[in-house]
């Protein structure tokens, strides 16, 4: 990146900082957690410096995770003519080489634009940005090594926001060009003809759908008896049906024991002895915190067995002036939550009188094809908690917008307290699910009853209107309970 992003008002913000300079906050890592934390502190006039070891800020969210995978999804849908196929029965022939180039160039353009936004945001807040690898020397000092040598930064508070990286089992040969983790899959040279995906979590399911849309034969292997077990079971059933229709072959409750390269592809052996061969393999099971060489031991800190740094509710480590936020503290490891954790950590560090906690419940957004999004109680959690509930569904097949767009498999499902009529949960599958869910999320947050959707006027035709029909459906179910 050239000098175009550098703020005219603060040309000295990049790189070298005099050792005599003392900061209120030193942040290690310029992903979503580090960036938002830095901006939050600087907004309240704290002197802040951010250290980043990669060439560009943005972290996994911008370069290897959230945005690249979502950009590839949108581009895959477009280039494969997926929607045209659904609507008009027109199948586009995918030219594998040209498609990959267009996929990657779009992804790179989005990543470049987003990193620029990170830099601009930091510069606009007068945050110093120091390229290099940060390492704790003591509770107030961070050493930064780069090609220019080493410099030291001192601060009252330190935030560790170094993120996570894909877990790589030692017995899988990731040096092989046909064996990938979720970072490397973004640098492939050709779209595989067939792909085994190990891991049926969010990342595995998202990539399975994306490649299936491009016509790749997919085998998805997951050790658990059910994929995405935190979702409402009905939504999982619907998602699996959609994935199967796209040609994804799901193998559940199956552990892999061996992965080896053959002449024609990659052979995976499962615990029951079966073998399966596809041209390439994506390992998408688990991540680990980025803590190596962070100098945790020098201040008496230690990460757990998965590389995650333990923190309390304020995101404070055992060392009172050192905080940690984002993927490096583990669950839920989402960009959405990482940003909030960073902001909340800073409010506690400096005693700002607001934003004292990350919202207890968070929405899940899963960019499969179709999208899935959820907030609040599922039928299963209601049953576990002994809550009497009813459900209602607004079917996209009965919704004018759903018919126009051809999104006939989608639903908005509401879970409502049978005694109080309060909305407890909302579960959406279908295009734009990750946007639609926020309507229900707000209603749950405000303690609204299902009557809210009966009374509201929705734009027409919209998928949001499916909330009204789901609510009517709930009323019918409530009537049978009286």
Rounded to the nearest 5°, which phi and psi values hold at 4?
-60, -30
Which residue in this structure is represented by tokens 């005219």?
8
Give yes or no for residue 161 binding ligand FAD (CB under 6 A): yes
Residue with tokens 């503290």: 329
Q: Is 59 in the site for ligand FAD (CB under 6 A)?
A: yes
Cα–Cα distance for residue pair 414/452, rounded to 1 Å: 12
Nearest residue to 323 (alpha-carbon basis) of 297, 350, 304:
350
Q: Compute the least distance from the CB of residue 58 to ligand FAD, in Å.
A: 6
In the complex, least distance from residue 330 CB atom to ligand FAD, rounded to whole angstroms: 10
Q: Which of 38, 49, 60, 463 binds ligand FAD (CB under 6 A)?
A: 60
Applying CB under 6 A, among 61, 77, 210, 344 the residue interacting with ligand FAD is 61
Q: With binding defined as CB under 6 A, does residue 294 bind ligand FAD?
A: yes
Restricting to residues 347-366, which ones interact with ligand FAD according to CB under 6 A? 365
Q: Are 409 and 429 in contact (CB under 8 A)?
A: yes
Cα distance between residue 152 and residue 137, in whole Å = 9
Applying CB under 6 A, the span of 57-65, 95-103, 109-117, 147-155 interacting with ligand FAD comes to 57-65
Q: HSE-up of 7 (CA within 13 Å, CB side)?
A: 18
Q: CA 70 to CA 435: how far, in whole Å?
A: 14
Q: Which of 7, 14, 43, 53 binds ligand FAD (CB under 6 A)?
A: 53
Q: Based on the shown chain and the rule CB under 6 A, indicate whether residue 407 belongs to the binding site for ligand FAD.
A: no
167-186 footprint of ligand FAD as x/- string (CB under 6 A)? ---------------x----
Cα–Cα distance measured from residue 350 to residue 171, given in angstroms and rounded to the nearest whole number = 46
Q: Measured between alpha carbons, how far is 445 from 440 in angstroms, rounded to an integer?
A: 9
The separation between the first and the last C-alpha atoms of the chain, rounded to the nearest angstrom, is 65
Nearer to ligand FAD, 199 or 265 (CB): 199
- Residue selected from 327, 377, 431, 465 as contacting ligand FAD according to rule CB under 6 A: 327
Three-class DSSP category at 269: strand
Hunting for tokens 């960009």 — which residue is that?
A: 335
Selected range binding ligand FAD among 146-154, 209-217, 320-328, 375-383, rule: CB under 6 A = 320-328
Q: Is position 333 an interface residue for ligand FAD (rule: CB under 6 A)?
A: yes
Residue 431 is a binding residue for ligand FAD (CB under 6 A):
no
Q: Could you say which residues in the range 462-481 bind ligand FAD, by CB under 6 A?
A: none
Taking a C-beta distance cutoff of 8 angstroms, is the pair 35, 54 a contact? no
Strand (E) positions, 14-109?
22-28, 48-52
Residue 162 as a binder of ligand FAD (CB under 6 A): the answer is yes
For residue 372, state whether it binds ligand FAD (rule: CB under 6 A): no
What is the binding site for ligand FAD (CB under 6 A)?
A: 28-34, 51-54, 59-61, 64-66, 69, 133-134, 161-164, 182, 203, 290, 294, 326-328, 333-336, 338, 365, 367
């Amino acid at each position: 990146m050239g000098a175009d992003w550098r703020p005219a008002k603060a040309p000295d913000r990049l790189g070298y900082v005099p050792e005599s300079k003392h900061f209120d906050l030193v942040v290690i890592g310029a992903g979503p957690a580090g960036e938002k934390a830095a901006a939050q502190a600087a907004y309240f006039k704290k002197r802040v410096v951010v250290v980043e070891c990669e060439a560009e800020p943005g972290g996994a969210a911008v370069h290897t995770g959230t945005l690249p995978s979502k950009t590839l999804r949108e581009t895959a849908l477009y280039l494969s003519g997926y929607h045209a196929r659904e609507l008009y029965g027109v199948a586009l022939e995918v030219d594998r080489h040209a498609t990959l180039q267009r996929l990657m160039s779009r992804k790179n353009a989005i990543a470049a634009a987003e990193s620029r936004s990170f830099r601009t945001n930091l510069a606009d807040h007068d945050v110093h940005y120091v390229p290099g690898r940060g390492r704790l020397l003591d509770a107030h000092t961070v050493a930064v090594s780069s090609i220019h040598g080493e410099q030291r930064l001192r601060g009252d508070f330190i935030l560790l926001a170094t993120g996570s990286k894909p877990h790589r089992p030692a017995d899988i040969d990731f040096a092989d060009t046909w064996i990938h983790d979720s970072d490397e899959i973004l640098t492939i040279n050709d779209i595989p003809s067939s792909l085994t995906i190990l891991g049926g979590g969010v990342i595995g399911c998202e990539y399975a759908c994306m490649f299936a849309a491009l016509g790749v034969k997919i085998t998805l292997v997951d050790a658990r008896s059910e994929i995405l077990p935190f979702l409402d079971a009905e939504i999982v059933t619907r998602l699996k049906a959609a994935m199967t229709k796209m040609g994804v072959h799901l193998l559940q409750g199956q552990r892999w024991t061996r992965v080896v390269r053959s002449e024609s592809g990659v052979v995976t052996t499962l615990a029951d002895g079966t073998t399966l061969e596809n041209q390439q393999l994506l390992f998408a099971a688990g991540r680990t915190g980025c803590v190596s060489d962070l100098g945790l031991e020098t201040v008496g800190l230690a990460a757990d067995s998965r590389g995650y740094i333990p923190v309390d509710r304020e995101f404070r480590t055992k060392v009172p002036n050192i905080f940690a936020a984002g993927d490096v503290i583990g669950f839920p490891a989402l960009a959405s939550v990482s940003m909030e954790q960073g902001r909340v950590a800073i409010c506690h560090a400096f005693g700002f009188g607001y934003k004292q906690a990350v919202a207890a419940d968070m929405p899940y957004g899963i960019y499969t094809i179709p999208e899935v999004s959820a907030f609040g109680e599922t039928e299963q959690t209601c049953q576990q908690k002994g809550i009497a509930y009813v459900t209602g569904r607004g079917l996209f097949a009965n919704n004018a917008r759903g018919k126009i767009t051809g999104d006939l498999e989608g639903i908005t499902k509401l879970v409502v307290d049978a005694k109080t009529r309060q909305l407890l949960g909302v579960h959406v599958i279908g295009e734009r699910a990750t946007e639609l869910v926020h309507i229900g999320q707000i209603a749950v947050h405000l303690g609204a009853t299902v009557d809210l959707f009966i009374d509201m006027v929705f734009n027409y035709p919209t998928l949001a209107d499916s909330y009204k029909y789901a609510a009517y459906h709930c009323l019918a179910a409530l009537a049978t309970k009286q």
